[in-house]
Structure 1
Amino acid sequence: MCPETPCSYPICLPRSAIDAIDLRSYHRDLIQRAAELFVADETACSLELRELWAETSAGCAKNGSGAIVKAQTRPAEGSATASRTIPTADSLQEVLGERQVTFQKPIAEFEFDFNFNQSAQGLRRKLYRMKTVLEGTLRTLSAIHSQAKEIEKQRNVTPELHDLFLRELDSISRDLKSHCSTAEELLNISADIKSTIHSIINFKNQDILNHNEVQLKVIAEKSVSDSESVKLLSELSYKDSRTMRITSVIALIYLPTNLVLTFFSTSFIEMLGSVNSNDENAAPRKDAQLEI
């Protein structure tokens, strides 16, 4: 179904099992070309179908690569381009038919952590233990099968009973081999799941690192701005301190003189001067009286 808002998704149509390394490189290519592979809006969906299929022996000899062909496009109806405009979701379903379509999911929506990895590792340990037990049981049955002929001779077992015993051993052996094959297949699947979990965790870590890098860049820009502000404040403080030093020197030179002048120009000094003059005038009068 077409999303309601414009978005970009790569489309992958797998047809066979894909090697993990080639799958990761293919996904990286899809992520890089997401915008041109699938673009949807409210009216139409433009998509490019990219299919993966196993190489034939001739293709392997020709390309000289592993068992997987790199992602290729197959234009519809012999068209020269692999992009088509599909007007509705029904038309999209009609074009795709029964083929499975997987849309690229944002890495942040994969809720995987190391617990999933530990769970997968625990299942693998159980499978290895089960495989070891099954293989040991098979070796035991093989040893019993090799001794069956001697037991037949020593115990005088009838041929019918001996054949029945051997058939039962063969049946049990086939069941055990089937269980061993199942365990081996489950181990391979669990290895793929473990590899996928590791890839998703690595992608999430890269996403977190990218986010942290952006945040660190913002913090660095703010730090540069703060350092410039601090530098400006230090320059202003230096100018203020210089002004204060000049003011202090001027005050140190002129303050004592002004203080002395101000002190001697007060009314207290004038009053002391008038008292002294009155005392000097009173002294001659006393001398005059004594002379009389």
Structure 2
Amino acid sequence: MRLPDTSLGRRADLRPVENGGYFAGYGGGVLAEFHSKLSDLFIPERQGCRVDVVDVVPATGVDADDKAQVNEYAISSMEELVSVLNQSSPSGSSRTFLVHRVNSWSRMNVTYDMFHAICASIRTAPEFVKLVMGLGRKLGSSDEDFMACYSRFSMPDTTSQTYDQACDICYNIRYYERHGRELEDPWSCRQSAIHQTYPFSSKQSSWLVIQSPTAFTLDVRDAQARTTTAAAHPMSPHIQYLAAGNAGWRGYLNYIADRLKSLDEEVAVCKRYGEFGVDFSSKQSINLLRRKLRHAAAILASTLETLGTLRSHEATMARTLDLRVSLHEGFQRELQNLSSELRNYLQTARKLLSLSDDITSIYGDILNLHSQELIQTNGMALTHLTQANSLETKAIGSLADCARQESRTMRIATLVAVYYLPANLVLSFFSTTLVWFETVGADGPGQGLSVLRVHREIWIAVVVTVVLGAFTVAISSWWERREVKGEEIASPKRTLLRAC
């Protein structure tokens, strides 16, 4: 196991380019993006820090019953990490760093300086930073489809004579596990990343695993899960890691299948379309399941590509190390078994997608029939309303004719009254006591001249008439202004009531 630099014991700067840290050799593009996400990737303080280290030293005997020695360390500070890193390990040993997270959208429970020391110790590949950047704190579903696998074989550095020939491989997987919360969907899609460095001379495997599957964590800590002799395949933990990630696929797809089955049973029995309890929310449920199935199919396809890269990496490694044929073929068979499972899960996901298409089509037909029936019902209701409106229109027309006839009659009566009003006014004036006829110069009966006489107080009648007319006009003007003012006050109130 390679020892870290002594400078790693000091708190690392959050600007690795400037202080010449291990990440400085990764290139400006990747490093700049990595630097911008440091606050979302690592916790700022040691409080809450949790890194588990598992050292596995294989048995040196030839007895098949001899078990490997497993040493575990729970690290929560930089000092403890440096102490563990400075411990020497024999050839053929394996050291695994387990970095945890609270949930799938939270930061890693490790500080940046500790992560920097771990990466410098095991010589992580620059591509591993790309995988790490998708594991930080998130406020949305970003990078949910990014999966990759990187393989590298490095040659000895003849100038410094510091590092020998080694190979490394890193990748991330997405897997499903039960979250244990009381939600409608009991499954969560989680992400994990793994990195292995294997120097050919010391044969000391170094592993860095971030948010590992639960089953893999148990396997790492179980001494019985490790091969007892030093002749074990150096890449065998990949099989355990991938198998732990694949453990939830069967249950998750069964859950999706049960949900689709319950939706299919709603329309599987032949009956009148009006008896189906189908609405738009049912179609939304199918769309949600289809989105989950498409995401699962993409993950399965990417995982199969990762297995292909692992297969090629192991073949090159077997040739370089001249591994026994039994170890090489055994590892390839295990990968083939995992690939067979994943292809079956992928086929199942595609089958469920096809089934969801059929269910969606039937639901769409039922909703269309409901829509057509609703359109027909609304059309009939509109027809009845139109007929009723027509009858009301006829009645209003009859009333309008009657009103028009009455208005004509009233107009004629008004005209007649206007024609006779002057005569009536004149005759009424002459019929009063203010005006009378007096006979003048009569010597005998039937003789003399009739003279029209006007009472001298007739001005009183004229004045009273003028005053009464003026008073009437004043009262009418006041009443009209009052009505207009009342309408102006009531209009804003009606507008306010409409707005409320």
User: Which TM-score applies when normalising by structure 1?
Assistant: 0.53
Query: CA offsets per residue over residues 180-229 of structure 1, 9 Å max, x none?
Result: 01100111111122222222222222222111111111111112112112
Partner of 1:252: 418
CA contact (8 A) 1:110 1:200 kept: no
Query: CA offsets per residue over residues 129-171 of structure 1, 9 Å max, x none?
Result: 1111111111222233344433222112112212211221111
Matches of 2:345 and 2:410, distance apart in 1? 93
Query: CA offsets per residue over residues 8-45 of structure 1, 9 Å max, x none?
Result: xxxxxxxxxxxxxxxxxxxxxxxxxxxxxxxxxxxxxx
CA contact (8 A) 2:278 2:363 kept: no
Matches of 1:136 and 1:173, distance apart in 2? 11
Question: Which residue type is aligned with residue 343 of structure 2?
Answer: K
Partner of 1:208: 374
Matches of 2:426 and 2:306, distance apart in 1? 122
CA contact (8 A) 2:278 2:366 kept: no
Partner of 1:74: none
Alignment equivalent of 1:112, drawn from 271, 274, 279: 279
Partner of 2:295: 129
1:157 and 2:323 are equivalent in the alignment: yes
Structure 1 runs of 4+ aligned residues shifted over 6 Å read: none
Matches of 2:405 and 2:382, distance apart in 1? 34
Partner of 1:91: none
CA contact (8 A) 1:117 1:197 kept: yes
CA contact (8 A) 1:135 1:180 kept: yes
Superposition pairs for residues 3-82 of structure 1, below 5 Å? none
CA contact (8 A) 2:293 2:352 kept: yes
User: Which TM-score applies when normalising by structure 2?
Assistant: 0.32
Matches of 2:289 and 2:380, distance apart in 1? 39
Matches of 1:140 and 1:196, distance apart in 2? 38
Greater mean deviation of Cα atoms: 235-244 or 196-205: 196-205
Residue 183 and residue 102 in structure 1: after superposition, are their counterparts in 2 closer, same or farther (change >3 A)? closer
Partner of 1:87: none
| Gapped regions of structure 1 (runs ≥ 5) | 1-100, 281-292
Query: Any idea what SS the aligned residue of 2:413 has?
Result: helix
Between Structure 1 and Structure 2, how many residues are aligned? 175
Alignment equivalent of 1:198, drawn from 361, 364, 369: 364
Partner of 2:390: 224
Greater mean deviation of Cα atoms: 142-151 or 201-210: 142-151
Partner of 1:41: none
Residue 158 and residue 129 in structure 1: after superposition, are their counterparts in 2 closer, same or farther (change >3 A)? same
Matches of 2:296 and 2:276, distance apart in 1? 35
CA contact (8 A) 2:300 2:346 kept: yes
Partner of 2:53: none
RCO greater where, 1 or 2, for CA within 8 Å and sep 6 or more? 1
Higher strand share: 2
Cα RMSD (Å): 2.8
CA contact (8 A) 1:120 1:194 kept: yes
How far residue 177 of structure 1 moved from its aligned partner, in angstroms, is: 0.7
Matches of 1:256 and 1:231, distance apart in 2? 38
CA contact (8 A) 2:300 2:342 kept: yes
Residue 221 and residue 109 in structure 1: after superposition, are their counterparts in 2 closer, same or farther (change >3 A)? farther
Matches of 2:407 and 2:337, distance apart in 1? 101
Matches of 2:348 and 2:384, distance apart in 1? 54
CA contact (8 A) 1:108 1:204 kept: no
Matches of 1:108 and 1:230, distance apart in 2? 44
How far residue 256 of structure 1 moved from its aligned partner, in angstroms, is: 2.9
How far residue 241 of structure 1 moved from its aligned partner, in angstroms, is: 1.2
Residue 109 and residue 195 in structure 1: after superposition, are their counterparts in 2 closer, same or farther (change >3 A)? closer
Partner of 2:168: none
Question: Which residue type is aligned with residue 223 of structure 1?
Answer: N
Matches of 1:109 and 1:188, distance apart in 2? 22
Residue 214 and residue 142 in structure 1: after superposition, are their counterparts in 2 closer, same or farther (change >3 A)? same
Partner of 1:172: 338
